[in-house]
Structure 1
Amino acid sequence: MGNSQKIKWGIVGLGNIAQQFASELQLIDSAELCAVASRSIDKAQDFANKFKCSKAYGSYDELFQDENVDILYIATPHDSHAELTIKALQNNKNVLCEKPLALHYGDVVKMITTAKKYNKFFMEAFWTRFNPSIRETLQHIQNGSIGEVKYVNADFSIKFENPDNTRMTDIELGGGALMDIGVYPLFLAYLILGIPKEILAKSNFYSTGADTQTSIILQYEGAQAVLHSSFLYTCNVEATISGTKGRINLDPLWFMTESYSLTQGDQKTKFERPTLGKGYTYEIEECHACLKANKTESELWSHQNSLELAAIVEEVKNKIGLVYS
């Protein structure tokens, strides 16, 4: 793929997050949205018209077979991620799939195995990993700016109005605080501290079986992470990483933050890092860089990273008794 050639995207599933992603694609000169697919051709056509996209399909399979598409963004509810990703890969499509990759660890294994079999680029859409503030935070930690990390604290709780009328409480669609927003605090703790030795977790549940609030403690050798998520109320949505020589505070909303502070003793330094668009642009650019370099995975968020995080999420599910069919 030549460096001057535009990379042609297709979007599978046309809900709210797909609209946000399509808007961000328009900010990237090297990206072109050339096809979208929904189970409703009318919805697909409306979406295509809104984002000046030339092709609209009334089935996902039609989009999978479009030879003009370089990479697909899977933006359907969680329960269909695995099936659609595997089909797309089998049709020789590169894939960026929304998080979490699947509701079960075993399905994540199948997705990655399929990507390797067909030698296609595949990445989980953990856009926070590519946020400039998050990347700089990791650099500060690796440079020893806050010493040895001993504690990570992150919450992600935002009130959803009328939750019984949303996918948040639909257990068949993979609803619940853990899978939709709880994976973000888990991601941050994993990114900084790695795989925990022990996991403690407790949840409250909705009548459908979806968790409404989940609190997690990750125990490491000499460190801990305390994490929380819910869709019943809004909290600070901040994150703090504390070490033996200082701390880093990620400002709200921390998972898409445009600023953070580094505190060392009495000295506090503020960093402003405005993002291009909402911030999906950085994962898009990472996909482009990997495709142009003929890479099948990102070094910043690898297949192994996705597998390890999925294993952590699976254990949390087991600890709290969250069951998906």
Structure 2
Amino acid sequence: MSNEIRWGIVGPGRIAHSFADDLRLVGGGRLTAVASRDLGRAKDFAKEYGAESSYGSYREIFESDAVDALYIATPHTSHCELSVQAMNHGKHVLCEKPMGVNLPEVEKMVAAAQENQVFLMEALWSRFNPSIVKAKQLVDEGVLGDVSYVNANFGFYALDRDKEGRLLNPRLAGGSLLDIGIYPIFLAYLLLGKPQRIEAISKFHATGVEAQTAMIFDYPYAQAVLSSGLRSKISMKAEIAGSKGSLYLKERWHETQGYMLELNGDEEAFDLPTKGRGYSHEIEEVHDCLNKGRLQSERWSWRNSVDLATLLDEVRRITGVTFPFE
């Protein structure tokens, strides 16, 4: 690995723009190539962000000598296939969440990383958000005492969107759970681990996708009350409560810029702004791992992605969420 990590982007959609913007803020790497099934889109994206190479097929970027690491930013249903192809060509991969639409896909991706001896990480950017990192630290240090309650929600109104689009199309693994429900589940898992038992119920949209899900994760001492939905705009704060105090992640907690700590009846607010939009922090983690020769992150490992996929699959099993291609 050279001192400068050469990045390629697969799928120049909206989230790829946020990633490319934040990559400019991170030392030790630059964008060198972009691939899309539409060569014109790839060329426009490459021009906007100063990448030298643009490709009209994904195969070309996998075979390119111009990149070391690829950010897979396509819809969920292609994550596994494209990531495995990239790794089979010796590329390191940062794959947008969810890494796969189910556990078998995630396991296949991990196996490909092991076989090819390349880096693989799920792009769960919230794991590296400074406020969430701090919240986990405070929980681990016992500052909140014995944590017995976590509450996290993620919702917005999307039922007026294109029925053939990513969110409402079951053929594209649509619905709230994999797109945004993954965030509350992630937070509960990060702070409390895997639950002993899960209760869940979903509401479905006319297209057949799950449009709203409520969940309770039950632990020996704690409960996590979680929800996701595409049927209404809801408050998106998160609460972590223990025997000594509580911590509140500020609005839109998955990309929060700070938190509030309540201890002994006193409240104190802390600002922890992200660098750029916040994708910069996961990029820094990838750079650090690659520069140290690591194939996985210790902060969000292959095991973590396997566990998260297991939890998502279990919620889907309980609520009856399936996709036509499964």
Query: Fold-level match, TM-score > 0.5?
Result: yes
| Contact residue 171 and residue 210 of structure 1 kept, 8 A | yes
- Give the Å deviation of 1:161: 6.5
1:126 matched to 2:124? The reply is: yes
Partner residue of 2:89? Answer: 91
CA distance in 1 between partners of 2:162 and 2:314 (Å): 26
Task: Select the residue among 109, 112, 117 that pairs with 1:111.
Answer: 109
Per-residue CA deviation, residues 70-124 of structure 1 (Å, 9 max, x unaligned), is 1000000000000001100100000000000111111110100110111100000
Partner residue of 1:172? Answer: 171
Partner residue of 1:217? Answer: 216
- Give the Å deviation of 1:159: 2.2
User: Which consecutive segments of 4 or more residues in structure 1 shift more than 3 A?
Assistant: none
Partner residue of 2:259? Answer: 260
- Give the Å deviation of 1:139: 1.0
1:323 matched to 2:322? The reply is: yes
1:202 matched to 2:208? The reply is: no
CA distance in 2 between partners of 1:186 and 1:204 (Å): 18
CA distance in 1 between partners of 2:312 and 2:42 (Å): 33
| Contact residue 159 and residue 168 of structure 2 kept, 8 A | no
| Contact residue 95 and residue 123 of structure 2 kept, 8 A | yes
Q: Where in structure 2 are the equivalents of 1:22-171 lying within 5 Å? A: 22-160=20-158, 162-165=160-163, 166-171=165-170
For structure 2, the 5+ residue unaligned runs are none
CA distance in 2 between partners of 1:192 and 1:138 (Å): 6
Give the residue type in structure 1 aligned to 2:110: I
| Contact residue 159 and residue 231 of structure 1 kept, 8 A | yes
Give the residue type in structure 2 aligned to 1:105: L
SS of aligned partner of 1:49: helix
**Percent identity of paired positions between Structure 1 and Structure 2:** 45
Per-residue CA deviation, residues 196-243 of structure 1 (Å, 9 max, x unaligned), is 111111111112221111111111111100001112221110100011
- What is the TM-score of this pair, normalised by structure 2? 0.97
Partner residue of 2:249? Answer: 250
| Contact residue 247 and residue 262 of structure 1 kept, 8 A | yes
Partner residue of 1:227? Answer: 226
1:291 matched to 2:290? The reply is: yes
CA distance in 1 between partners of 2:284 and 2:319 (Å): 37
| Contact residue 199 and residue 318 of structure 2 kept, 8 A | yes
Per-residue CA deviation, residues 252-307 of structure 1 (Å, 9 max, x unaligned), is 11001011011112111211101111100000000000000000000000000000
Q: What is the alpha-carbon root mean square deviation over aligned residues?
A: 1.0
